[in-house]
Structure 1
Amino acid sequence: MLKFTQQSHVPSYYAASAHDAPRHAPLAGHVRADVCVVGGGFTGLCSALNLAARGYSVALLEASKIGWGASGRNGGQLIAGYSCGIDTFAKYMPQEDVRRIWDMGVESVNIVREQIERYRIDCDLRMGFLSAANKPRHVDELRARRDELASRFGYRDCHYVEREDLGRYVDSQRYLGGLYHADSGHLHPLNYALGLARAARGAGVRIYEDTCAISLKKTAAGHEVQCGNGKVEARYVVLACNAWLGQLAPDVARKILPVATYVVATEPLGEERARALMPANAAICDCNHALEYFRLSADGRLLWGGRASSSTRLPDGIGEAMRRDMLKTFPQLADVKIDYAWGGLIDATMNLAPHFGRIEPDVYFAQGFSGHGVNVTALAGKLIAEAIDAQAARFDLFGKIRHRDFPGGTLLRKPMFALAMTWNAMQDAL
């Protein structure tokens, strides 16, 4: 079981550049609400905000601070769609439903943009994303993806960038081409989370920080969520804990693997050097199995992410190891220092498709974002609110996807993950 400790945000560039935000007192005593949301990350905040807009009273419980987990630590890349290929969904549903799933993947980015605009969230949103080819087969795959998206879904908001034109996006000789998406982008994730919390509180959501949900039980009136110093009675419950679900719903938790990934932030590069490095200020991710991703911050730092492990602690020397990775793409940054290095847990499913569903008719969960959490969490929050408000058709589409337990239980998951990462690295090398 993952152990959760109450603490402030982990030291990171995001925490250092976060906007001032109000603290929320812990729960003390007994409260009632229409909906109890467990988890103060993107999923929980978007669910609470959408439910409050529909007139529901909402109590949100966060075991630490708003955005403490992956929502406040991730790479900040806002990419339309899902981590899995679209044909993952085709195994479980007819083509017309696959099309609806695809449309929702595009809609997910629009939901984030609409929330940022409606609630005036200052989180450095910038549009533009490039998927960069490391190998000749990646070139073929990206071109095929462009053509398939156009023919199958009528999607034409991307174009292929030839190698000789890559200088418009990135000053590196490492890549052979790329697929540019104008409708995806990047943002400051912690400030986005804090902005969502501010909007939710303004809409009447009662937020309780440093309040860990210990147990969930059914009652005559609905459900009771027990915490250390109080409890919430609610008709509906939304479990938005992701990698930190633990024993609150063990059958659901077995469908995901908590995976640690890491990010470093350089010192500020200066406006001229930053612009030369990434002229279009787009987010970039490569095509390897063990992928690397990077972008510029609003103050001109390079934020570089990658690597993965099953460890729940920050490995020794991770900053220097990540710096070496960065220099393979940008050797011209050899004189640049790393100011921040941090990590966090994402929640991955075996097929990399998001995992939405119900434990009971009125207990909802959404997890398994598998690295696409910035956008798909916003979609999850909207769909959960629709479902609770008796409009469950879109939410239930995701319930058609079969998700398997990770084999080996809690003892063997980590060594099996390490073997899988070794296999991925071998595939990338070959």
Structure 2
Amino acid sequence: MAWQSPIAPGLSWYQATVDDRPEYPPLDGSRSVDVAIVGGGFTGLQAAYNLAVSGVSVLLIEGHRIGDGASGRNGGQFGTGQRAWPDELEAELGYERSKALFDMAERAKRYVHDFAAAQAIDMDYMPGQMNVSHKPGQDKDYRASAEILASRYGYPHVTFMDGKETAERLGTSRYHCGVRDTGTGHIHPLKLVVGLARAAKAAGADIREMTKALSIRQAGGKTMIDTPTGTITADRVLIATNAYIGNLEPVTAAHVMPIRSFIGATVPLDKFPDIIPGSEAVADSRFVVRYFRKSRDGRLLFGGREAYTADNPIDISSHIRRQIAEVFPTLHSIDMTHAWGGSVGITLPRKPFARDVMPGVTSIGGYSGHGVMLSNYCGKLYADSILGKAPDLDLLKDLKVPPFPGGARLRTPLLFLALTWYALRDRF
């Protein structure tokens, strides 16, 4: 991934705080396996682990280093449920399907905790998340969402916060109300990726970094993945590239689009104890979401999405510091130690994309900023489908996820125009 930072070139705060990040060799010749996986993030690695531990021969290739994509660079927030509020999904899909998707997300949450504990992965888990409104007049909606979660979805961990409580818990009066979720939290995502790769390798998965998939083709009931250093032949293939699909597979490319996301890390906030005193994660109500949290050592990790092309700002830190000052004026001159960026995969309706794009070839991605727990679980669900276990992946395959309009030539400029419009609405 190409990105720039004048503070710490090539280094995110996550990379700087991982003690040991093993390297895996590139592919060194052609291979034949039961299952081939393209993409070394949460989805691909969980699929590789769960297949290998069950005795399936599996080869995973990653075009860069393990963790260089969104899985190792994201905001680290778990969230609860799907990307949309359950009552919003219920209005579209009905209660039964909305409840099934909510329960799936709760299983995903438990799965990540159980997996990390079983593999002795310290992922810096910290409890608590708040969703807050940047506009006045949303009290009724936020209060109703908390009540619906408790009464209809069996989730009593979300409570409404009025303006006063919101200001006290955040340390800023920038937001007008919100909800606080004590049933979820946030993590150090790269520590989880690194531990997951180790577990997959130990289970018998063949992991190859710096191995780019050039094409996917089919012949004689098999699927072939061409790389610069050999061809992989497999009975089944999982495409788990998310925002980094490029031109590899056209169906996925039409449904999962990349947007650029940028995060900055400050020095520890020892002199500012009133800012997020409970150390929860926070996400606001903007369409172009601002998301921030306290790290275990007391830093503010602040993310925003304000770029919709493949280019990066020349100075990420200044860009992020301006947003921090809008939310926390007392931090207008806070020192920053790291700033980094990457691509996040989104779909048009902000629902995950899971589909069989060719015979024996499944693509999963498009988590739309809600993928830390769900992407891990989707990798497990893919393995379950291969192993003939629970068919939960069908819940996502049944979702209606239309392609982005405009075809291959106009998709990106139309997305740029649409997201710029929404960013202006957020601002004014």
**TM-score tier after normalising by the smaller chain length:** over 0.9
Between 1:96-105 and 1:391-400, the stretch displaced more is 391-400
The residue number in structure 2 matching 1:81 is: 81
Residues 20-69 of structure 1: CA deviation (Å, up to 9, x unaligned): 12211111112222211110011111111122232212111011100111
CA contact (8 A) 1:266 1:338 kept: yes
- Relative to structure 1, the CA distance from residue 92 to residue 285 in structure 2 (aligned partners, 3 Å threshold; closer, same or farther) is closer
- Relative to structure 1, the CA distance from residue 329 to residue 199 in structure 2 (aligned partners, 3 Å threshold; closer, same or farther) is same
The residue number in structure 1 matching 2:277 is: 279
The residue number in structure 2 matching 1:111 is: 111
Give the total of aligned pairs. 423
Which runs of no fewer than 5 residues in structure 1 stay unpaired? Answer: none
- Relative to structure 1, the CA distance from residue 107 to residue 28 in structure 2 (aligned partners, 3 Å threshold; closer, same or farther) is same
Residues 386-414 of structure 1: CA deviation (Å, up to 9, x unaligned): 11112363111212222222112343333
Residues 137-185 of structure 1: CA deviation (Å, up to 9, x unaligned): 3322211111222232222121112333335532111122221111221
- Relative to structure 1, the CA distance from residue 402 to residue 335 in structure 2 (aligned partners, 3 Å threshold; closer, same or farther) is closer
Q: CA deviation at 1:311?
A: 2.1
The residue number in structure 2 matching 1:313 is: 311
Give the TM-score taking structure 1 as reference length.
0.92
- Relative to structure 1, the CA distance from residue 227 to residue 377 in structure 2 (aligned partners, 3 Å threshold; closer, same or farther) is same
Between 1:332-341 and 1:54-63, the stretch displaced more is 332-341
Identity of aligned residues (%): 36
| Amino acid corresponding to residue 358 of structure 1 in structure 2 | D
The residue number in structure 2 matching 1:359 is: 357
CA–CA distance in 2 between the matches of 1:21 and 1:418? 35
- Relative to structure 1, the CA distance from residue 207 to residue 131 in structure 2 (aligned partners, 3 Å threshold; closer, same or farther) is same
1:26-425 aligned at under 5 Å gives the runs: 26-86=26-86, 95-166=95-166, 169-220=169-220, 222-270=222-270, 273=271, 275-391=273-389, 393-425=391-423
CA–CA distance in 1 between the matches of 2:50 and 2:139? 40
Which runs of no fewer than 5 residues in structure 2 stay unpaired? Answer: 4-8
Other structure's SS at 1:261 match: strand
Q: CA deviation at 1:229?
A: 0.6
Other structure's SS at 1:135 match: coil
| Amino acid corresponding to residue 190 of structure 1 in structure 2 | L
- Relative to structure 1, the CA distance from residue 344 to residue 284 in structure 2 (aligned partners, 3 Å threshold; closer, same or farther) is same
- Relative to structure 1, the CA distance from residue 89 to residue 231 in structure 2 (aligned partners, 3 Å threshold; closer, same or farther) is farther
CA–CA distance in 1 between the matches of 2:82 and 2:409? 29
Segments of 4+ moved more than 6 angstroms: none
CA–CA distance in 2 between the matches of 1:46 and 1:137? 42
Q: CA deviation at 1:354?
A: 0.4
CA–CA distance in 1 between the matches of 2:92 and 2:285? 26
CA contact (8 A) 1:77 1:187 kept: yes
Q: CA deviation at 1:362?
A: 2.2
CA–CA distance in 1 between the matches of 2:53 and 2:242? 24
Residues 189-213 of structure 1: CA deviation (Å, up to 9, x unaligned): 1111111101111111110001111
CA RMSD in angstroms comes to 2.2
CA contact (8 A) 2:126 2:296 kept: no
The residue number in structure 1 matching 2:6 is: none
Between 1:367-376 and 1:220-229, the stretch displaced more is 220-229
CA contact (8 A) 1:34 1:236 kept: yes
Other structure's SS at 1:25 match: coil
CA contact (8 A) 2:167 2:175 kept: no
- Relative to structure 1, the CA distance from residue 92 to residue 386 in structure 2 (aligned partners, 3 Å threshold; closer, same or farther) is farther
